[in-house]
């Protein structure tokens, strides 16, 4: 499992899309930190979190789904299409492969967020560890959806299409459901509601991700390669 996770983690740093995402995160961190450090009156929002930290949060909440889907929509089905999955299942269990993929993607985004928050911590003079945990909890849900999509849909070019759709649909509906009473029940199945609240609610998306991954493993156990 760990070997697969490490391989997935390394592979995510080798594509131009990943490099673009990393540069974008670093630019947002650096530019927002530099700007707001020169505008102290704008430094805090209503959550007592510096605005340049909130800028990273906004980037993740609005575009994080699209980024994850763009980079990892084919994390499982590419192995099946290239017939490397048959080799992998002879060396380790299927649940190890699936969780390894999940962990590799999770650690990739963990590194991206960690570096971004370290940059802004230079301006804030403190490190916002709770913000890192909340954003990773949010991304764990999206990563689990990406793994589920890649397991259910056999062709990577198809998951690319569905991934873009999900990347645009989830933020729109998830955030819309927070403000529109007509679809307010939907907010409980999206991670945005829980991330906006404080306390243990922030860990609910992480619990959802483990549930989704359990469904993926049950599905993959009965699938032929």
Q: Which has the closest alpha carbon to 209: 103, 96, 67? A: 103
Instruction: Quote the CA–CA distance of 217 and 176 in Å, as a whole number.
Output: 31
Overall pTM > 0.85: yes
pLDDT per residue, tens digit, the chain (225 aa), is 788 888 899 888 888 888 888 888 888 777 766 665 554 444 444 455 566 677 788 889 888 999 999 999 999 999 888 888 888 888 888 889 999 999 999 999 999 999 888 887 777 677 888 889 999 999 999 999 999 999 999 888 899 999 999 999 999 999 999 998 888 899 999 999 998 887 889 999 999 999 999 999 999 887 766
Which domain range does residue 123 map to? 2-221
Total domains in the fold of the chain: 1
Residue 225, number of CB atoms within 10 A of its CB? 13
Roughly how many angstroms between the first and final C-alpha of the chain, as a whole number?
Answer: 19
Fill in the DSSP letter of residue 40. Answer: G
Beta strands in 56-169 (DSSP E): none
The DSSP string of 4-65 is HHHHHHHHTTSSHHHHHHHHHHHHHHHHHHHHHHT-GGGSB-TTS-BHHHHHHHHHHHHHHH
């Amino acid at each position: 499992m760990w070997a697969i996770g490490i391989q997935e983690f390394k592979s995510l740093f080798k594509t131009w899309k990943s490099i673009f995402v990393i540069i974008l995160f670093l630019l947002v961190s650096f530019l927002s930190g530099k700007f707001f450090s020169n505008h102290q009156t704008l430094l805090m929002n209503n959550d007592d979190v510096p605005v340049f930290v909130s800028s990273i949060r906004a980037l993740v909440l609005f575009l994080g789904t699209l980024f994850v889907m763009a980079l990892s929509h084919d994390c499982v089905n590419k192995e099946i299409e290239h017939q490397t999955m048959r080799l992998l299942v002879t060396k380790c269990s299927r649940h190890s492969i699936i969780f390894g993929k999940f962990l590799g993607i999770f650690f990739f985004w963990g590194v991206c967020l960690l570096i971004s928050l370290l940059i802004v911590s230079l301006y804030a003079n403190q490190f916002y560890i709770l913000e890192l945990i909340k954003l990773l909890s949010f991304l764990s849900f999206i990563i689990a959806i990406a793994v589920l999509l890649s397991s259910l849909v056999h062709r990577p070019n198809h998951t690319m299409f569905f991934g873009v759709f999900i990347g645009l649909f989830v933020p729109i509906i998830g955030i819309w459901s927070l403000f529109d009473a007509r679809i307010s029940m939907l907010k409980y199945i999206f991670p945005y509601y829980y991330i906006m609240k404080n306390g243990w609610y922030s860990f609910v998306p992480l619990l959802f991700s483990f549930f989704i991954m359990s469904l993926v493993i049950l599905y993959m156990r009965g699938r032929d390669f």
